Amino acid sequence: MKTIILLAPYFVLLCLSTCSVGCVDIVSDQGLEAAGQMASTPVVEREETYDMGVDGVDGAALPASDMRLEYVDMNTPLDSSSADDAQVVSSCYGSQVQCRGECINVDDDMRHCGGCDQACIISNGSGVCRRGRCEIESCEPRFFDQDNNSQNGCEYQDLCTPDQTCLSSCGSQGTSRCSQGALSCDPPPEICNLKDDDCDGQCDESSPGLVCKVGVHRASKVFNMKTYHAYSTQQATLNNLGYDIERRDYFYLSQESGPNAVSLRLCQDQMSRHFLSTQSDCGINQAPIETLGYVLPEGGCHSQPLYHLIQPQTGNHLYTIDPDEVALAIEMYSYVDHGTLSFVWRNP
Ligand SMILES: [Ca+2]
Ligand SMILES: [Ca+2]
């Protein structure tokens, strides 16, 4: 079975006899083309299912010599404007199709993208018709296409507000940033404050243009066959007190104060022995020789203990960051452990 259209001779004859205005001659090929170009002129008078070789359903099938057969796409509604516009009978060339009386390349036409009357419109943005598909060209400010679906256009609206104060992942005060509608908090640059500001896991780390810590030299001298120690950030201070540098930059102090930080001072007792103290009067009601820097009595900021030992016979004060040296001083040189003075840093 094949669906075909029968053009009854009586309609042809009617046309032939009355053609003047608004009617075309469809007997000739030229007439068919003209019919296709006139959207309002009906080409099909009636249609029916025709079984070749058998009389019509109503028994009034006409001889082949008396009828005109026209095959059309039955998926296209005959009474719709687009169907009229996209008739098989067309004068358009190549891949163009006829839409509303115009020959259109539906591959790149914004009004007829991929087919007649399929306008390329992108919600909250602008589109472009490529190869018959309507694609997103750009989104309006603060709108984004997050699901890569052009059907719903730029569906996501960015409600994020940039350049606002926010809390970074390491607790510092950062600045809000918006990326594709997502809010994030950029940490600030590192500064000297005994905290990790840039969230890199390092506290007051040195970088070009930033030095937060100062090295403390360990010096010693021998007097009456006995060894004494002193500590200072200034080699000149130690030399003036009669000491020689034993370990340069043995440990580090912060140059800037911060939460829970206290000053570390170089002091001297009545017997001219030198020691370190976090007290402003050195704990002996004496003014310190100098303030060296800042330490953390409770630790933090990747600091480590500064151990304090005293040799009872000489009264020498020994400070070390090495637990092995603590054990050696006690075992070999009879030092007495005075615990942890405070917390300092091994590296700048
Ligand atoms: Ca840091
Ligand atoms: Ca810092």
Q: Rounded to whole angstroms, how far apart are CA atoms 64 and 4?
A: 13
Span from the CA of 306 to the centroid of ligand 2 (angstroms): 21
Q: How far separated are the first and last CA of the chain, in Å rounded? A: 93
Span from the CA of 176 to the centroid of ligand 2 (angstroms): 19
Q: Which two tokens stand for residue 36?
A: 């296709």
Residue 28 C-alpha from the chain's centroid? 66
Strand order in the sheet with 304-311: 316-320, 304-311, 336-344
Span from the CA of 191 to the centroid of ligand 2 (angstroms): 4
Q: Is the pLDDT reported for residue 236 higher than 60?
A: yes
Model pLDDT, residue 142: 83
Span from the CA of 261 to the centroid of ligand 2 (angstroms): 13
Neighbours of ion ligand 2 (CB under 5 A): 190, 193, 195, 197, 204
Strand order in the sheet with 2-7: 46-50, 2-7, 68-70
Span from the CA of 43 to the centroid of ligand 2 (angstroms): 85
> What's the pLDDT tens digit per position in 34-84?
333 433 333 333 333 334 433 333 433 433 333 333 333 334 444 444 444
Span from the CA of 345 to the centroid of ligand 1 (angstroms): 15
Per-chain mean pLDDT for the chain: 80
The number of the ligand nearest the C-alpha atom of 198 reads 1
- Classify residue 212 by its DSSP letter: -
> 262, 341 in Cβ contact below 8 A?
no
Span from the CA of 210 to the centroid of ligand 2 (angstroms): 10
Confidence of residue 91 (pLDDT cuts 50, 70, 90): confident
Q: Rounded to whole angstroms, how far apart are CA atoms 198 and 204?
A: 9
> What's the pLDDT tens digit per position in 143-189?
889 899 999 999 988 788 899 999 999 999 999 998 877 889 999 99
Q: Rounded to whole angstroms, how far apart are CA atoms 171 and 182?
A: 20
Q: Is the pLDDT reported for residue 94 higher than 60?
A: yes
In sequence order, what are the beta bridge partners of 234? none
Model pLDDT, residue 85: 45
Model pLDDT, residue 257: 93
